[in-house]
Amino acid sequence: MNYLKTSILLSALTSIILFAGFLLGGEGGIIIAIIIAIFTNFFAYWNSDKILLKMYGAYEISMHTEPIYYNTVRNLARNSGLPMPKVYILENDQPNAFATGRNPENGAVAATTGLLSTLNKNEVAGVMAHELAHIKNRDTLIMTITATLAGALTMLATFAMFFGGRSRNGFLGSMGSILIIIIAPIAASLVQMAISRTREYEADKIGAEICGNPEWLASALEKLDSTSHYIENKDAENNPASAHLFIVNPIHKKSIDNLFSTHPKVTNRVKILRGMVNTSHNLKTGPWG
């Protein structure tokens, strides 16, 4: 059902882009919208992971430089049947993490220094298992496409702001430009956030199965949620389009309305995970115990 919902939402986002193109320039506008969407998606498919990691100043680590963190990811990747991803660290005090990569063979996971210093070994394992679940489910590619399509729509809105509509119907052209400028980016954001929320619940479930103990992730989420209230992530604040990639919302809650949150409520996620604890057997008691 989650995959069906994601497909429907992606189709809705594509339809918004095509409709925006039509309002902006009639049939010719649709062609322009298609070209923009294809180009941006092609570029994002091959380069989004590199751009994202560079944007946050992430640096790659190895078993020799960060043995505990690296071995945690390696063991979890083995448990999940995934190829070993590249492992990165972000110099950031806010405890958080994300995954990227166009497919499991090119996957990468990144954790902030704040996360590694705040969580215990079990909780770090829970978080990284969640990120590996995103790679396993190919959410990293889905969310990249979503963000890119949303960016393409924003590009059309900017074009409409400066050049206006060129529809054969003058009134439709003017009204179309207004609709694109005001409504289209909001609609794109809502669809993008709905997709993100859908994928987060699924990654929680798969991540709990990968690490073997849902309580590790539940406990980690509670800690991450509480600290995000008062520790700022300036890079995320400056690049809100990437906020959906993190395990918890990196943008200060005081600056956004819940309607526009890229993540489901942590309390709901924790409740579901602890429900898994109550029905699970043979739970692990340590990172690899």
Q: What pLDDT, in 10s, does the model give residues 47-57?
A: 778 888 998 99
List the catalytic residue out of 123, 131, 200, 215: 131
- 22 within domain boundaries: yes
Confidence of residue 168 (pLDDT cuts 50, 70, 90): very low
- 285 within domain boundaries: no
Tokens of 46: 């091959």
- 289 within domain boundaries: no
- 199 within domain boundaries: yes
Please tell me which residue, 170 or 157, carries the higher pLDDT value.
Answer: 157
Number of domains in the chain: 1
- 48 within domain boundaries: yes
Confidence of residue 253 (pLDDT cuts 50, 70, 90): low
Is 131 one of the catalytic residues? yes
Using the structure block, give the residue that is written with the tokens 């699970």: 280
Confidence of residue 1 (pLDDT cuts 50, 70, 90): very low
- 192 within domain boundaries: yes
- 14 within domain boundaries: yes
Q: Kindly state the percentage of the chain with pLDDT values over 70.
A: 67
- 288 within domain boundaries: no
Indicate whether 172 pLDDT > 60. no
Domain that holds residue 275: 2-279
Separation between Cα atoms, residue 219 and residue 130, nearest integer Å: 13
Phi, psi of 153 (to 5 degrees): -70, -40
> Mean pLDDT throughout 56-65?
95
